[in-house]
Amino acid sequence: MINVAIDGPAGAGKSTIAKRVAKDLDYIYVDTGAMFRALGLFMTRKGIDLNDVAAIAANVDDAEIDIQYIEGVQCVILNGENVNDSIRTDEISDAASKVAVVPEVRKKMLILQRGIASRHDVIMDGRDIGSAVLPDADLKIYLTASVDVRAERRYKENISNGMNSDLDEIKREIRERDERDMNRKEAPLVKVDDAVEIDSSYMTIEEVVEKIEGMIRDIR
């Protein structure tokens, strides 16, 4: 199996790029953030205080999370329900980042994610893929971009989806999430020594895709 890890901060373009590469090379794209989002949704729906680590840990076993691929699209199944359409809000982004600090949550995700990677050629994106989930990945990418560029991308996406959006508010949220994802005790976002760093701030999606596909061809 070929395992490719892509880590980086929110909004660097990981999922857009990983999806394209997976399609071109016929790999499975594993969006690990979606799994944390599903768990964030579960805890939010249950009314659990997202800053209460013990309460989250006590409820984690009640959330059955499964990943299915329907016509090549990853579907996150939470206790039997496909929650793909409910996990992309700002509220759930924040909830995912909060539940992700809890060790019991990370343990559950790690088992799920390693299981998928052991059965398929995967391109898996997240925060701790190269460092914790797949330390022996065949290729590790650290994809980043400046806060300003990442906020602007999110802003344009919101506007084109007909949503109200405030650029300064988005910047603040991105900084807050970076801070939490990079400074938590358990599996924080880091660039590991054997990862190749790509700064996508001034690159097009196509340029980044081509670069990564070239690197994958070199290892095969």
33 binds ligand DC per the rule CB under 6 A: yes
Number of residues this chain uses to bind ligand DC (CB under 6 A): 15
Tell me the C-alpha distance between 211 and 208, whole Å.
Answer: 5
| Of 41, 60, 84, 126, the one binding ligand DC by CB under 6 A | 126
Closer CB to ligand DC, residue 187 or residue 212? 187
**Is 128 or 155 the residue whose CB approaches ligand DC more closely?**
128
Residues numbered 37 to 56 that lie near ligand DC (CB under 6 A) are 37
d(CA 195, CA 191): 6
In the bound complex, what is the minimum distance in angstroms from residue 154's beta carbon to ligand DC? 10
Question: Which class for 75: exposed (0-12), middle (13-18), buried (19 or more C-beta within 10 A)?
Answer: middle
169: which 2 tokens?
A: 């508010």
> Which residue number, 127 or 140, has a Cβ lying nearer to ligand DC?
127
Q: Which is nearer to ligand DC, 102 or 216 (CB)?
A: 102
Angle at 109 between CA 196 and CA 53, to 5 degrees: 110
Sole binder of ligand DC in the list 5, 29, 83, 127 (CB under 6 A): 127
- Binding residues for ligand DC restricted to 61-120, rule: CB under 6 A: 93, 96-97, 100
Taking Cα atoms as reference points, which of 90, 99, 89, 119 lies closest to residue 35? 99
One residue of 30, 128, 137, 144 binding ligand DC per CB under 6 A: 128
Angle formed by the axes of helices 14-25 and 205-219, to 10°?
Answer: 50
Tokens of residue 197, six digits: 């760093």
Q: Which is nearer to ligand DC, 100 or 209 (CB)?
A: 100
Least distance CB 218 / ligand DC (angstroms): 25
CB atoms within 10 A of CB 27: 20
Q: Give the bridge partners for 189, in sequence order.
A: none
Shortest gap between Cβ of 90 and ligand DC (angstroms)? 11
Q: Tell me the DSSP string of 103-157.
A: HHHHHHHHHHHHHHHHHS-EEEEESSIIIII-TT-SEEEEEE--HHHHHHHHHHH
Q: Which of residues 140-199 bind ligand DC (CB under 6 A)?
A: 177, 181
Binding-site ranges for ligand DC (CB under 6 A)? 10, 32-33, 36-37, 93, 96-97, 100, 126-129, 177, 181
